[in-house]
Amino acid sequence: MIIVNFKAYKQAVGEKAVELSEKCAEASEKTGKEIIVAPQPYDIPKVSGKVYAQHIDPEKPGSNTGSVLAEGIKKAGASGALINHSERRLEKDVIQSIINRCREVGLTSVVCAQSPEECGELSMLNPDYVAFEPPELIGGDISVSSAEPNVINEAVKFSEVPVLTGAGIKTSEDVEKSIELGCKGVLVASGVVKTDDVLEELLELCSGL
């Protein structure tokens, strides 16, 4: 599985989010590999393919101005959500509430963690996945799988649930190594969103799965 996090990149909002998701769907169809897109919430209903939200809130429907509801993103077309991304950190009790909300409405939960210890700790909250992303490597040119293979290994050992990894992933070797180390998939952002040839990059990443 590859999750392409669109973040709030200008190359990946509005019409550009739609175009990017179409490339992801094309690469997925060509290779038979699962590619999930994670756009901004307002783009969820517009994009193609399997979609996760980048974030949801723990609130239930009611007087909660500004909340991103689990029900709302499900109705908009998402089938899962990232939770506690390094760029949107949350308290542990809030993470637990969001995991519970995901389960109530039938969304897959992917909880991000910054260290193997945190992977272990947050996996005890029983999300569907934990995603290990060392913050210092996010958005850079050195991948987590080349810089910290032993740390990925530890994250896999510490976690009670399947592990994904991300940060700096750009090549098929990065993906292959992550899978070899025991991960079920990868998260990618800048490597796909900022490249000139998105389809070529997606095909490259899929070949490592």
- Buried b vs exposed e over 67-93: b needs ≥16 C-beta within 10 Å? ebbbebbbebebebbbbbbbbeebeee
Q: Which residue has the tokens 């991304």?
A: 85
Lookup: tokens for 68: 């991103």
Amino acid residing at 130:
V
Q: Which residue has the tokens 């959500």?
A: 81
For position 208 contacting ligand G3P by CB under 6 A, the verdict is no
Stretch of residues binding ligand G3P (CB under 6 A), selected from 25-33, 88-96, 148-156, 163-171: 163-171
For position 168 contacting ligand G3P by CB under 6 A, the verdict is yes
Lookup: tokens for 7: 């973040």
Stretch of residues binding ligand G3P (CB under 6 A), selected from 43-51, 64-72, 145-153, 160-168: 160-168
Q: Which of 133, 148, 154, 204 is catalytic?
A: 133
Looking at the Cβ atoms of 59 and 108, the one nearer to ligand G3P is 108
Say how far apart CA 179 and CA 159 lie, in whole Å: 15
For position 2 contacting ligand G3P by CB under 6 A, the verdict is no
For position 205 contacting ligand G3P by CB under 6 A, the verdict is no
Residue 60 Cβ, how far from ligand G3P at the closest point, in Å?
A: 27
For position 133 contacting ligand G3P by CB under 6 A, the verdict is yes
For position 189 contacting ligand G3P by CB under 6 A, the verdict is yes
Residue 31 Cβ, how far from ligand G3P at the closest point, in Å?
A: 19
Q: Which of 37, 119, 122, 138 binds ligand G3P (CB under 6 A)?
A: 138
For position 95 contacting ligand G3P by CB under 6 A, the verdict is no
Nearest to residue 164, comparing CAs of 97, 209, 201?
209
Q: Any idea of the CA torsion for 135, 137, 138, 140, to the nearest 10 degrees?
A: 150
Q: What's the residue count for the chain?
A: 209
Binding stretches for ligand G3P (CB under 6 A): 5, 85, 133, 138-139, 166-169, 187-191
